[in-house]
Structure 1
Amino acid sequence: MSVCLRTAPHVRALLLYADRRFQTDRCFPFIVFNQNQIRSSAQGGYLLTARKNFGLVADKILAVNRDALDSLIQRGRDGGYVKPETPEEKSCFELMTFVDHVAGHVNGSHTARKYQRNEIKSLIYAVGVPVFFVTFAPADFKNPLCLFYCGQNIDLLQRAPPLPSRNDRLRAIATNPVGAARFFRKVVELFTSKILRMGQGRPGLFGPTEAYYGTVE
């Protein structure tokens, strides 16, 4: 009997494996993230242009010189400034001014960040400008919960459990970024539920919270 398991639940199950073999693997998170980006871009990317330019853009796409496009791509891979040198390359650059590649659901893409900025602007129009800008960076290597997530033998039932040495704590977090990410997510959830008290019908530490927006660098 075969069971169809979607990618996200499968990866989550592997990352929460009991012996933490996938959490501490150096390559696994990067491979999964890259595969997810490639899959999302290939399945969901599309071209967007204004309706008045549709005919012009369609003709330009059909007339694109593949050799000129390959030359621009090859020069762009070096990370330097790419300047069109031939009429065919200038035509490719002109096409880029009419067309946007939309892949807003792809994590880390430029369009995803653009959508986030639009969401923030819409939120400002709806409820007003933000009153507080809060940035918090929890000291993960000093927190027993984070060390517990990273596989350290910590008794969380104690009020002040003994912690390993500083080097051991830093090494544990460096070798298990998944545990550190779980800890950060928990801190964010506690901040919104206990400090802001969002959606609880009572004011939080900063007063009544009508809305909030959070991003991760």
Structure 2
Amino acid sequence: MSTLEQKIDDEEAQSERTGYVPDPLSNPQECTNLDVIPINNSGVLDVNGLYPTLFCYGRGAPEDQSRPIEIKFKEHIRYLLSYNDRRFETNHSFIFVVFNLLQRRDACFHAQLIATKPYFHASANEIQSINSKDIEMALDNNSKRKYNTESNSALNKLLQHIKTIGGRVMGSAYSRTALRTRIHALIFNQGLPSIFLTLNPADIHSPVALYFAGVQLNLDKIQNEQLMDTYKRAEIIASHPVATAKFFHLLITNILDAVIMGGVLGPIKAYF
């Protein structure tokens, strides 16, 4: 079960919470504070109510507990983004909301894993001793380029844990740092690369990207008057992120197959 997923009427769900605070969603009607609005499990991820124009009949949202067959969240989102009418793809906020949700789940999941490690328990008390003044002083020293990681060991340990968790969260700055570490490890193991290529596909100038975005083009016989002006192409590409990702994946995969993996360069030891 993924992090933040809720179980209904499951005895194991309550047994897993042994030693933790009571589940606030277990009985939403029991509330003595009149200023608090009770919520239930469905309120954790209510995309039906958030996007009434996308889920017109109030059904079909991810992780619907009434669905007889469980569908993984990522698989369901991938299915929604592949709709023929492209209403999920072209929505201005849907793809950002679900991406942020996936990021949060990754962060919570790996934070939970780290919290079970012995080294985290050893430094937990020291991390709890950090106060707002320590953080303010570190930010001030960092702006003046005077920050020293050895000046505050507790804050340094906190940053190390954040870096470890962030390295597993897709799209984060720490994930790019983790990729750089993997590149350094590959160089240490295999030596310096013989060829270094930087590929930056220009999607707004590609007829294939426009074709994936729904523009009617004959890829075997492309005419200049069919490609429109640069601003119009950029507008189409920006409003069809799934088509852009599909174009990027297709182009990079073909380049790897034709050039790197047993292609014109012959057998290779490794690539990244």
TM-score interval, smaller chain: 0.7 to 0.9
Choose the corresponding residue for 2:228, options 145, 152, 165.
Answer: 165
What is the rounded CA distance, in whole Å, between the counterparts of 1:147 and 1:26 in structure 2? 19
Residue 150 of structure 1: CA displacement?
0.9
Which secondary structure state, in structure 1, belongs to the residue aligned with residue 242 of structure 2?
helix
Q: For residue 53 of structure 2, what is the aligned residue in structure 1?
A: none
Pair 1:97-2:159 in alignment: no
Which secondary structure state, in structure 2, belongs to the residue aligned with residue 81 of structure 1?
helix
What is the rounded CA distance, in whole Å, between the counterparts of 1:153 and 1:105 in structure 2? 39
Q: For residue 25 of structure 1, what is the aligned residue in structure 2?
A: 91
State the AA in 2 paired with 1:208.
P
Which secondary structure state, in structure 1, belongs to the residue aligned with residue 78 of structure 2?
helix
What is the rounded CA distance, in whole Å, between the counterparts of 1:49 and 1:114 in structure 2? 23
**Are the equivalent residues in 1 in contact too, given 2:212–2:243 (CA < 8 A)?**
yes
Which secondary structure state, in structure 2, belongs to the residue aligned with residue 31 of structure 1?
helix
Written as runs of structure 1 = structure 2, the 5 A alignment for 1:10-159 is 10-45=76-111, 46=114, 55=122, 57-61=123-127, 64=129, 68-69=131-132, 81-82=139-140, 93-99=152-158, 100-101=160-161, 102-103=164-165, 104-156=167-219, 158-159=220-221
Task: In structure 1, list runs of 5 or more residues that go unmatched.
Answer: 84-91
Shift of the 72–15 alpha-carbon distance from structure 1 to 2, 3 Å rule, reads: farther
**Are the equivalent residues in 2 in contact too, given 1:151–1:172 (CA < 8 A)?**
no
Shift of the 149–72 alpha-carbon distance from structure 1 to 2, 3 Å rule, reads: farther
Residue 186 of structure 1: CA displacement?
0.7
Which secondary structure state, in structure 1, belongs to the residue aligned with residue 90 of structure 2?
coil
Q: For residue 258 of structure 2, what is the aligned residue in structure 1?
A: 194
Which secondary structure state, in structure 2, belongs to the residue aligned with residue 172 of structure 1?
helix
**Are the equivalent residues in 2 in contact too, given 1:141–1:173 (CA < 8 A)?**
yes
Pair 1:205-2:264 in alignment: yes
Which secondary structure state, in structure 2, belongs to the residue aligned with residue 22 of structure 1?
helix
Pair 1:176-2:240 in alignment: yes
Shift of the 17–41 alpha-carbon distance from structure 1 to 2, 3 Å rule, reads: same
Task: In structure 2, list runs of 5 or more residues that go unmatched.
Answer: 1-66, 142-150
Residue 36 of structure 1: CA displacement?
0.8
Which secondary structure state, in structure 1, belongs to the residue aligned with residue 85 of structure 2?
coil
Residue 119 of structure 1: CA displacement?
1.6
State the AA in 2 paired with 1:81.
L
How many equivalent pairs are there? Answer: 190
The ranges of structure 1 where at least 4 consecutive aligned residues each deviate by more than 6 angstroms after the TM superposition are: none
Deviations 1:129-172 (A, max 9, x none): 1112211222323322111111111233x333562411432221
State the AA in 2 paired with 1:27.
S
What is the rounded CA distance, in whole Å, between the counterparts of 1:28 and 1:132 in structure 2? 40
What is the rounded CA distance, in whole Å, between the counterparts of 1:191 and 1:183 in structure 2? 12
Pair 1:9-2:89 in alignment: no
**Are the equivalent residues in 2 in contact too, given 1:49–1:98 (CA < 8 A)?**
no
Deviations 1:152-210 (A, max 9, x none): 11233x333562411432221121122111101111000000122x1x4xxx3344332
Q: For residue 88 of structure 1, what is the aligned residue in structure 2?
A: none
Higher relative contact order (CA 8 A, sep 6+): 1
Which secondary structure state, in structure 2, belongs to the residue aligned with residue 133 of structure 1?
coil
Q: Identity over aligned residues, as a percent? A: 29
